[in-house]
Amino acid sequence: MKIYIIRHGETALNAKRIMQGRLDEPLNESGRQLAVLTGQAIRDIRFDCCISSPLKRAVETAKLVLEHSGNDIPIELDDRLLEIDFGDMEGRKLSEMGQPGFLFYTDPVKFAGFPNGENVRQVCERTQRFLKELIKKDDGKTYLISTHGCALRAMTNCLFDDPADFWRGRAPYNCSFTIIESENNRPRITAVDKVFYDEKLIVDHFKQS
């Protein structure tokens, strides 16, 4: 089986480097453009199933990618694919948290979590539960999974040699893929942060945070 995990396209809050977490933001024009370009670039890929976080930005990304890649399949929703819950910090900049917020990027596994929200370990637990359940199917199908930056890193963290390197140098680019191939319940990552659109359109919000 093959699993294409995409981070949603850009939103207005992404562009402002504001933590949106569970805020239900739609894509902005740039985000929609990247999703369309991505879909057009992968027209040779036939997806059998699509599963998305229920948040608008993830669902809209999945819809546009499927539509423009010629894949006419339904989108299932799964709450385990939701972004990390930023709790009291929703809609604010990470810099407002000072040193505790800095740890979210520099040492996220030790980060205690957001007030009235989640920590990274909790996100790893729920997203990896989803991934392990999917891999157990071992059905030879090709999946499109639409999710979020922290959730994507958390989901795939267990497949890397060094799980302590959570961010792997950056947050996933908008509309970038991490690709997993699995046979006989043995998953392996074959691509990280792969974009199918012009790399000149990449905006690295992680470096700007």
Phi-psi region of 124 (alpha: psi -120 to 50; beta: other; left: phi over 0): alpha
For the chain, how big is the Rg over CA atoms in Å?
16
Q: Which two tokens stand for residue 6?
A: 């995409």
C-alpha dihedral (108, 109, 113, 118), degrees to nearest 10: 110
Residue 203 CA from chain centroid, whole number: 15
Q: Which of 8, 25, 60, 118 is catalytic?
A: 8
**Nearest of 14, 80, 24, 30 to residue 52 by alpha carbon:** 80
Q: Which of 10, 25, 83, 118 is catalytic?
A: 83
CA distance 143 to 187: 14
Q: Is 199 a residue of the active site?
A: no
Q: Is 83 a residue of the active site?
A: yes
Q: To 10 degrees, what angle do helices 56-69 and 29-41 make? A: 40
CA distance 186 to 136: 9
Catalytic machinery residues: 8, 83
